[in-house]
Structure 1
């Protein structure tokens, strides 16, 4: 069966008609460049126009208004998948089968809430870690101050006793010699206590340095993780793009 028809185009009024003529002429030039035999050329021409007509009929069967909508957007910068998808959507059609169009509105809201909750939890955890570090630093500083005060008190007492004993040395008696020995023992104990306090001070200083370094390392790691981890807005934007493509 043969069906013959003529197509009237008005390129002076419609840009889409002008673009269609340009495409048809280009196709004709490519066919001539093949240098096929006349019968082959005729068969290819028939096949070409038949495919165009039947594909348009297919679109018409999907939605009667769809071919006219696509005709109006037949422009060089509009011939792409996005245009096709938008026109299908405008005609009430979808490229995905029913039940596979992606997340429902409720599911989308739930996903958004989960991402926001995860972001808030991460921020709260970071704040708690920082608070603990600050408390540790404060405790160590307080211990150092107390140790320094004790050391100053011990040194002051030792100095006072040494002055007193030096003044009494000139008129020392056997009993005073015994007191002098006792004082020497006390002074040795004070010296040992001083050494112990100094060791504690060094230990506290070392702990303070370790905590400070650890805090800096944690902050650095947190900054690195925040740079590598997409923000909530970025995650939501990616989810929106996936949702719009119907990949869920």
Structure 2
């Protein structure tokens, strides 16, 4: 049980082996189940334990510990480093020590206790939801698109402004990543190459649901990291923040940073 969050968390190779036959049986997972199905059921079982917790910060602490929505699935960072990154980016208003204590001393005992209770059935609909959460690498509680923060600031812009750019540089963004966890570039017809990123997990999930984008991995970085990546590419590359899933629509909610702007920002990063 305590091994599921270690190493690469829910994405680690050999997850079923880490769990062991007793836990697999208790959670209704066949020993020969495909890795994707193992992850789906593990996610659902953990989420049912997490659901009654009233603390607003508990879900983000728990899913960061399990590496869901915390980083690229390919990044084997370790639970402590993931929590350190969460705190450092302002994802929670508590210390790494407090996050670790809540996870180890509050949540994990609740998981163990839940094993002695009757396990509720898992439906095909449940598995479908879990599959979508995993495909997008987002937490079950990830907020849907809403007005607020950087997204709202972008909607009010007619051109990039320094306070909004600072919010982007200092804050976390999510987007498609390659096998090494590097932001993935997309060629937009005759408009050149762009790195597409989203200011919230809900916006990214909505985009994927609308377009069916089959990105193999999702990464999480600071805007500053993405600017450095764009500036370091051979081909001139821009960044498209919160792209619309509908071509030609929703442009007012999208902020494009063309290659010239990227070069300027990179000199200041």
Interval of TM-score (by shorter of Structure 1 and Structure 2) = under 0.3
With CA pairs under 8 Å and 6+ residues apart, which has the higher RCO, 1 or 2?
A: 1
More helix by share: 1
More strand by share: 2
TM-score, normalisation: structure 2: 0.19
Q: Which has the larger radius of gyration?
A: 1
